[in-house]
Amino acid sequence: MKKILLKYSTGFYLAISLCFTGCVKMDIAPYDKFTDVTYWTSEDKANSVLNMAYRQMATTNRTLANEILSDNVYNAYGTTNEKIIATGLADASNGRFQSEWNDAYSGIKTCHLFLENVDRVATMPEDLRTKRKAEARFIRAWHYLNLTNWFGNVPHFVKDINYSESKELVRKPKAEILAWIHQELDEIAEILPSKQGYAPADNGRITSGAAVALNARAYLWENNWDKVAEYSGKLINSTKYGSYSLFNNYEQLFWARNEYNSEIILSLEFVPEVRTWGELVDLVPMSAGARLNLAGPTQELVDSYLMKNGQKWTAADPAYANRDPRLNATIAYDGSKWIDRTGAEYTIVIHPDGTVPAGKVSDKFTGIGTAQTSTGYYYRKYADPSSTTYTGGGWASNLNFPLIRYADVLLMYAEAKNELGLMDATIWNQTIKLLRQRAGFDNVATAVDLPSNDKNQLREVIRNERRVELALEGLRIYDIRRWGIAETVLNAEHHGAKFDKSSGSYEYIKLAGGNFSKDRDYLWAIPRKELLANPNLTQNPGY
């Protein structure tokens, strides 16, 4: 897929991107060049439009910013749209609300453009045309799923519309849209090849397995446990929709040389120099060449990592030694080792009393809201040490960004089975045990065996496992919302490392909690510009 993106990124990308720039309404114009019969003359041109739809499916910026909406990460430097939302100060003019709406409907517009014109390409083989249509349908379903998750009832249409028609749309009930999404994904899964059914040149394309996994995720967000178990089970207990397994190294799972590994079900594709992403420049240690630290992992996230023997961490234990190895693979903490792009290893020093390594910029905590970390922690996940992963020596990365991993499927299956009262040693060994073994836990009963037969106790174990396995991947906010605990965990005081000496002795950094209203914030505001453009739209409660 990298080669395909590279092939279709020049020329057309600039032309069609101009059609999207600055557009707010669901009717994104002008499109004359791409709806005219003279454009749809070759398979390459059709593929260019479909690849645009792929690029619009998600962004690293938004996925990483989702962590700021959760209790995993604290944004202390500057004020992002997500911080405004987290503190309860967002109104219908918030930029994140508007961009979420804009980008989804822009992507849907591209899918409709492709679906309604690809039949004009007479030279495209019919079986290939059917597959490409299924890919566009998947992307359209992806957008509608995200829209319903954030906004609830939204306008839903399955053909291209003009500006006048867009002003007449009304919000369709979320349940009806979700029913449509499930049917679409069911049909798509029977059309597309599995991951193994594609040639290497097509790595990165949407597959039947991706359709099944997204359907499982959609049911998960509805807490429909029977369906979650059914659909995640299709990928665990059968190879009909592809064969998946956990990659053997958790940290290196997020390195470019392994980006098409056995665990990746769907990823956002990037191409050296032509298409890169660079958010790590504001998240990794300063000594690694960061510009500043926009947001850092919280102490609450760090505390969620168990000891290697499976026991919960306590204040009597070492701060970071003998912990779940996923902690070190995900978060840079005081005393952890960092490998630079020359292969040299050095120690990360964050404690205010520490000594900065010779020749390195300081990573030390100097206070909340300063250029260095405000929590005492930095990102490590996604920081591939290979120089070939970056352009120009900075943090412009061509690493593909995972959107759905097989690990998530295992966690969905475990959670569903437990909620259905069906968790047992067999299901545990198929799911959580595999994750912990891959992570590098000690091979002892407390670490890898089923810890209890109590459904409520296991619920907390499985939820914590989701948190640490998927940390910093943008999924925590969806989980705490569907669990109905957002107002509890987000409004509580947050903390950073034990680096605050304002009282005379070192204490945990205190960070202000958020302001999540259970009566308002489980749905986002319909953007004000959309309400002004279309009087048929109504606002969600509380805005």
The pLDDT of residue 94 is 98
pLDDT at 33: 56
Pick the CATH number of 2-61+82-245 from 1.10.260.40, 3.50.50.60, 3.20.20.80, 1.25.40.390: 1.25.40.390
Give residue limits of the domains in the chain: 2-61+82-245
Q: What's the mean per-residue pLDDT of the chain?
A: 94
- Report helix, strand or coil for 75: strand
- To the nearest whole percent, how much of the chain has pLDDT over 90? 92
What pLDDT does residue 17 have?
39
Q: Kindly tell me if the per-residue pLDDT of 23 is higher than 50.
A: no
Burial 141-169 (b: 16+ CB within 10 A, else e): bbbbbbbbbbbbbbbbeeebbeeeebbeb
Identify whether the C-beta of residue 329 lies closer than 8 Å to the C-beta of residue 345.
no
Whether the pLDDT of residue 13 is over 50: the answer is no
DSSP string, 327-348: HHHHEE-TT-EEE-TTS-EEE-
Encoded tokens for 180: 């449509």
Q: Is the pLDDT of residue 31 over 80?
A: no
Which band of pLDDT confidence, cut at 50, 70 and 90, is reported for residue 2? confident
Give the integer Cα–Cα distance in Å for 300 and 415. Answer: 22
pLDDT digits (tens, 9 = 90+) for 489-536: 999 999 999 999 999 999 999 999 999 999 999 999 999 999 999 999
Tens digits of per-residue pLDDT, 271-281? Answer: 998 999 999 99
Question: Given this model, what pLDDT does residue 6 score?
Answer: 59
pLDDT in tens, 172-189: 999 999 999 999 999 999
In angstroms, the CA 155 to CA 174 distance is 10
Phi–psi pair at 259, nearest 5 degrees: -70, -15
Residue 236 pLDDT exceeds 90: yes
The pLDDT value given to residue 10: 40
- Tell me: the pLDDT tens digits for 394-448? 999 999 999 999 999 999 999 999 999 999 999 999 999 999 999 999 999 999 9
User: How high is the pLDDT of residue 539?
Assistant: 98
pLDDT digits (tens, 9 = 90+) for 65-105: 999 999 999 999 999 999 999 999 999 999 999 999 999 99
73 forms beta bridges with 297
pLDDT band at 38 (very low <50, low <70, confident <90, very high): confident
Closest C-alpha to 388, from 271, 540, 308: 271
* Residues 110 and 103 sit within 8 Å (Cβ to Cβ): no
The pLDDT > 70 percentage for the chain reads 94
